[in-house]
Each structure stands twice: as structure tokens, then as C-alpha cells.
């Protein structure tokens, strides 16, 4: 059977454009003689549609799109993803469904069984799980069609009580097809290959796995669709962070493969356990976070995240504050790559506490990148604030209040330019700063999109070196000088925070690995450091709650995937 995989970038709620792309791909599949064309999960409306699913008009538009696509499924089978209504009174009103179209008819509608409700997923909020499982007859074969999470319930600690493929395999299928919207994080591609391979090995069937690609607000989908034959051999791994298409030719007339399932699964699980154990070791954390393979993927994800956010929102120009520090330098380089150098305005806003080399470094950065920049000294505005506040502040000593006025002055200037000329402000705070509250609300925490909010400081350094791999775009002095907010004389980040190489170890264990203080201390990290860092994280949730969307690149990003109370006393702090 010839199966055409179409890995596409959809726009949530843009039914006209999504349908156009799907129909165009069906035409291509027909042209190359494909029997079947496969698209990704909820491709008709885009994933995740979230509370749009509560609008009847949205569902009507989904079904209208399916009807239009059905007309083109004449000589070719078409698998698309779209919500489907639940005819039963009991349960949720919708299913997350895969529609099988052929001969201009809806031949089958398969419902997703396993509805993830963790991290960025919230599917049980909207959908009812499937309650029956049937293979789809097509051209003398039987297809076991599943949706994303349906193939992930493997291993020795299953999350769900049922495995849809265990039900479908009883009907003796010839092929497994999975349509997916599997988000990116910097080791998820390995997990994905592993899970698909485990399914092939367990059931002895070939598998076609079609994933979505593109960024949807903060969530990045990286593609990497897969085709395996029945022996567990990887036939094709499609492009990452790009739209792609592939024609697979699979022999479905052979009997199911009789592989040594137990041994293969044990090896897969052993490999996975080895990977996890390495990143549980605090001495390996920084190496893991900054290894070049991960940084290369993060780089692509951030560029796609910026570019898709602007393109899908109809924006063209960005602005950011360029301080001469490494965070703004990396954010600026990524933005120029994503949007084009002429579309990114850097604004240098030195104060009386800024060093001369910070301004010259920032200027050199923009000259290297070729983007426009402006210089606006903030001392006159800052002095005006102090003058207005003097009757209240009186002769109280200089403190964080005066530091934050500088930061908020810069935020005001950036937002004024943004409003005047239609720029979108890119925020440059990194994950280490956001975690510990090392930032000023309505100042350097202002922005429409966070570029580095899911990137630890040590990863920012690694990104800078990666960006400079072929030539020096980011001046070396920016990378090598000690980080500083420059809000008071001779200020260094290390005055307020532990060294980033220590800080990021603790933050990773607490945020990504969800380890408690006792567990982290038992790893050999000093108790005072652990308690200090965890207290900073917990007491600054109120700041993060007011922050802009963060492009997600890790397994646990701040934002929709991490939900903790603002007012709480967990861990005794």
C-alpha cells in the first residue's frame, strides 16, 4: 500500500487556510499514486483549540471543513483529525476524532481513548473517551487507527487502565496508523521514536505516525513523523521544525511479525531508564541541559516559536531592550533570524549605572546582526521620577525601589515605541531569573512574548556559543563578562543569586523533576542553598502569574503547563 504522510503547520481556527492546505496535499498524494493520505490530530481546526471547543459555531465550522475535504476523498483514502459530536446524552458533548474518508463518504470516525490531562494537555476538559474500538476495512486490509496518546500507555507504569491497541489487535489488523499533535521538548523526539518502536515490536505490525508541526502560542510542535515496518526497522523520520511530506510503500500482505517482544521492550525501557538516571545526577544536569544536540533543537524551536507567533497573529515587527547582556543578545539574534533583521528594533537605554562597554557591546551586536537600533538614555526620565517621589521617599536610602524605577522606565519607553509604531515587545528574561523572581514587574518583565523564559541561564550561554558557531554574531565580551542588571554601582547577578551553574542544578531538579527539598539535599547539594532557592521559587509565583506567554522547550515550562497556587505554604515557607 502506498501511504502519503502530510506533516503540516496549521493555524488554530483558520478553517479556510487549513482546509486549503489539506486539499492541496490530497491532490499531491493522488498525483504520486497514493492509496491513502494521512494528516495530523485535529488538523481541521488546529491543536490545541482549547475553549473554542465550547462554541457551537466553532464545531459547525469544523464539520463544514470535513464536508469540503470529503469531496476530494474520491479515489484515495483520507485520514484527518476533527472534533466529532457525542450522540449520547451521557458524557462530554465531543470526541477528539480521526475521520476516515473514501469514495466521497465518511467511512469511519474513530474516537480518541486516552485523553491526557497533564502538563500542557487538558483534553478531558472537552472530550469524552472512546467506548468502542474497531479496525477500518480498506482495499482488502484492516487499519488500526489511533490518536496520539492512544499509543503511549506502555511500560511498567501505565497512566491509563486501557490500551486501545490491545483491543484493536484482536481484530487482526494489517497496519497501525497514529495521527498526533505531540509537542516539542528537547528530548521528546527520542521518547517518541521509542514509543512508536515499542508499539511496532509489541504488535508485530508496521506503523505510520503523522505528527503536526508549527508553533501555537507557547507550544511548539516539531514534526518528525515516522514510518516503521513490521520488523521494527525505521523506514523514514521526517523533517523537524518544517512542513514535510513522504510517500511510504508498505507490504501489508505478510503475516504479523513474530519478534521477541519481551526482550525488545525490556531493552527500550532500560535505555529510557538510563537516560533518566543521568539527568537525575546533579553533576550531569548542566552537561545534559547544554549538550549541543539539545541546544540545536532549542534554537530551532525558539526561531519557529517567534516566527509563527508573529505570522499567525499578523504581526511583522518586533522591539526589545538591548542591554549589552547575554539574554537580550541571544533574544535579538533569534528574533532577527525568525523575522528578518530589518524587522527587529533594538533599543539601548543606558543609565548612569551602565558601563561604557555595555553600550558599545550592544551597538556592536546590532552592527553584526544588521538590525536597526536606537539609543535613549534614561537618566532624565529616572531623575523626573525621583523628583516626583522625593516628597514621599524623603531621605530614605537607595534601595530596590530606585532600582526598579530604572527597569520600569525602560519598560515604559519600550511600550511607548511599541504602541506608536505597532511593534511587539519581546521579553528577554530567562528561566533562572523567572524562577527566582529576579526581575521587575512592569519593567524588564514586560512583553508580548517571552523568548527565553523556558531556557535556563547556562543554556543561554550555550545558545550564544551555538549562534556564534560559524561566525561571531554575539560579541565575545557579552558572553564572557559577569552577568549584571546594572541598576546600581558595580552590581552583579551573583550579589543576589547563587552562581548559575549551582542555581540551575537545583532549579532543574525542583521544576522539571519535581523533587522535594529532602530529595535534592540527598543528592549532595548543600541544604542552605536548596532551601534558599526553593523559597525564592515559591514566593515569586505571583510574578510569573502576570507574565506573558513563554515559548515552551522543556518538559516543564512556566505557564499553562505548570499550575501551582500563588497563596500557599507548601514546604513550610
The pairing of beta strand 94-102 with beta strand 77-85: antiparallel
Is 550 within 8 Å of 559 (Cβ atoms)? yes
Report helix, strand or coil for 405: helix
Nearest-10 Cα torsion for 181, 186, 190, 191: -60
Other CB atoms within 10 A of residue 175 CB: 22
DSSP bridge partners of 219: 216
For residue 135, indicate whether it is catalytic.
no
- What gap in Å lies between CA 233 and CA 403, rounded to an integer? 59
The radius of gyration computed from the CA coordinates of the chain, to the nearest angstrom, equals 26
Is 79 within 8 Å of 39 (Cβ atoms)? yes
For residue 112, indicate whether it is catalytic.
yes
Q: Which three cell numbers stand for residue 194?
A: 521509542
- What gap in Å lies between CA 502 and CA 285, rounded to an integer? 10
For residue 364, what is the enclosing H or E element? helix 356-369
Cα–Cα nearest to 473, from 296, 292, 336: 336
**Of how many residues is the chain composed?**
573
Catalytic entry in 61, 112, 300, 457: 112
- What gap in Å lies between CA 294 and CA 285, rounded to an integer? 12
Q: Which three cell numbers stand for residue 253?
A: 500482505
Report helix, strand or coil for 347: strand
- What gap in Å lies between CA 109 and CA 132, rounded to an integer? 11
HEC sequence for 86-151? CCCCCCCCEEEEEEEEECCEEEEEEECCCCCCCCCCCHHHCECCCCCCCCEEECCEEEEEEEHHHH
Burial group, residue 360, by CB count within 10 angstroms (0-12, 13-18, 19+):
middle
Nearest-10 Cα torsion for 167, 173, 177, 183: 30
Catalytic entry in 41, 123, 337, 403: 41
Catalytic entry in 43, 135, 148, 163: 148
Burial group, residue 417, by CB count within 10 angstroms (0-12, 13-18, 19+):
middle
- What gap in Å lies between CA 203 and CA 193, rounded to an integer? 16
Is 550 within 8 Å of 558 (Cβ atoms)? yes
Cα–Cα nearest to 285, from 469, 432, 503, 499: 503
- What gap in Å lies between CA 142 and CA 136, rounded to an integer? 5
- State the residue for C-alpha cell 532543574: 508
Q: Which three cell numbers stand for residue 58?
A: 466553532
Q: Which three cell numbers stand for residue 304?
A: 519557529
HEC sequence for 515-555? CCHHHHHHCCCCHHHHHHHHHHHHHCHHHHCCCCCECCCCC
For residue 148, indicate whether it is catalytic.
yes
Catalytic residue IDs? 41, 112, 148
Amino acid at each position: 500500500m502506498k501511504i502519503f504522510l502530510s506533516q503540516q503547520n496549521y493555524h488554530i481556527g483558520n478553517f479556510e487556510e487549513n482546509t486549503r492546505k489539506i486539499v492541496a496535499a490530497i491532490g499531491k498524494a493522488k498525483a504520486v499514486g497514493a492509496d491513502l493520505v494521512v494528516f495530523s490530530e485535529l488538523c481541521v481546526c488546529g491543536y490545541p483549540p482549547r475553549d473554542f471547543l465550547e462554541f457551537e459555531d466553532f464545531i459547525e465550522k469544523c464539520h463544514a471543513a470535513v464536508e469540503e475535504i470529503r469531496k476530494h476523498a474520491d479515489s484515495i483514502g483520507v485520514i484527518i483529525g476533527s472534533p466529532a459530536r457525542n450522540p449520547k446524552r451521557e458524557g462530554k458533548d465531543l470526541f477528539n476524532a480521526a475521520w476516515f474518508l473514501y469514495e466521497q463518504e465518511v467511512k469511519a470516525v474513530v474516537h480518541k481513548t486516552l485523553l491526557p490531562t497533564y502538563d500542557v494537555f487538558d483534553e478531558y476538559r472537552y472530550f469524552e473517551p472512546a467506548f468502542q474500538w474497531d479496525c477500518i476495512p480498506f482495499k482488502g486490509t484492516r487499519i488500526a487507527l489511533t490518536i496520539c496518546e492512544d499509543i503511549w500507555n506502555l511500560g511498567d507504569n501505565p497512566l491509563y487502565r486501557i490500551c486501545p491497541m490491545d483491543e484493536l489487535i484482536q481484530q487482526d489488523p494489517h497496519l497501525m496508523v497514529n495521527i498526533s499533535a505531540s509537542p516539542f521538548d528537547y528530548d521528546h523526539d527520542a521518547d517518541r521514536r521509542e514509543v512508536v518502536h515499542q508499539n511496532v515490536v509489541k504488535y508485530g505490525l508496521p506503523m505510520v505516525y503523522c505528527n503536526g508541526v508549527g508553533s501555537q502560542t507557547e507550544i511548539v510542535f516539531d514534526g518528525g513523523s515516522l514510518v516503521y515496518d513490521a520488523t521494527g526497522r525505521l523506514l523514514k523520520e521526517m523533517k523537524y521544525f518544517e512542513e514535510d511530506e513522504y510517500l511510504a510503500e508498505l507490504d501489508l500482505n505478510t503475516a504479523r511479525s513474530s519478534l521477541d517482544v519481551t526482550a525488545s521492550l525490556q531493552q527500550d525501557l532500560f535505555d529510557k531508564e538510563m537516560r533518566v538516571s543521568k539527568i537525575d545526577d546533579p553533576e550531569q544536569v548542566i552537561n545534559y541541559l547544554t549538550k549541543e544536540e539539545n541546544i540545536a533543537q532549542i534554537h530551532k524551536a525558539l526561531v519557529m516559536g517567534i516566527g509563527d507567533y508573529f505570522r499567525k497573529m499578523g504581526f511583522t515587527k518586533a522591539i526589545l531592550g538591548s542591554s549589552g547582556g547575554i539574554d537580550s543578545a541571544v533574544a535579538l539574534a533569534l528574533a532577527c533570524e525568525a523575522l528578518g533583521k530589518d524587522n527587529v528594533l533594538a533599543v539601548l537605554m543606558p543609565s548612569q549605572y551602565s558601563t561604557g562597554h555595555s553600550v558599545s557591546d550592544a551597538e556592536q551586536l546590532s552592527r553584526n546582526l544588521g538590525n536597526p537600533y536606537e539609543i535613549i538614555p534614561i537618566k532624565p526620565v529616572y531623575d523626573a521620577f525621583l523628583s516626583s517621589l522625593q516628597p514621599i521617599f524623603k531621605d530614605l536610602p537607595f534601595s530596590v525601589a530606585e532600582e526598579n524605577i530604572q527597569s520600569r522606565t525602560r519598560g515604559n519607553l519600550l511600550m511607548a515605541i511599541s504602541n506608536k509604531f505597532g511593534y511587539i515587545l519581546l521579553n528577554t528574561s530567562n528561566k533562572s531569573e523567572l524562577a527566582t523572581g529576579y526581575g521587575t514587574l512592569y519593567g524588564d518583565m514586560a512583553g508580548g512574548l517571552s523568548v527565553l523564559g523556558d531556557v535556563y541561564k547556562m543554556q543561554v550561554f550555550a545558545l550564544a556559543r551555538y549562534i556564534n558557531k560559524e561566525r561571531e554574531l554575539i560579541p565575545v565580551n557579552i558572553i564572557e563578562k559577569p552577568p549584571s542588571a546594572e541598576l546600581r554601582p558595580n552590581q552583579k547577578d551573583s550579589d543576589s543569586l547563587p552562581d548559575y551553574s549551582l542555581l540551575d542544578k537545583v532549579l532543574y531538579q525542583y521544576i522539571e523533576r519535581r523533587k522535594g527539598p529532602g530529595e535534592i539535599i540527598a543528592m549532595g547539594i548543600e541544604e542552605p542553598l536548596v532551601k534558599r532557592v526553593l523559597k525564592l521559587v515559591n514566593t515569586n509565583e505571583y510574578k510569573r502569574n502576570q507574565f506573558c506567554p513563554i515559548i515552551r522547550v522543556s518538559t516543564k515550562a512556566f505557564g499553562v503547563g505548570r499550575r501551582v497556587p500563588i497563596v500557599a505554604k507548601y514546604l513550610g515557607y
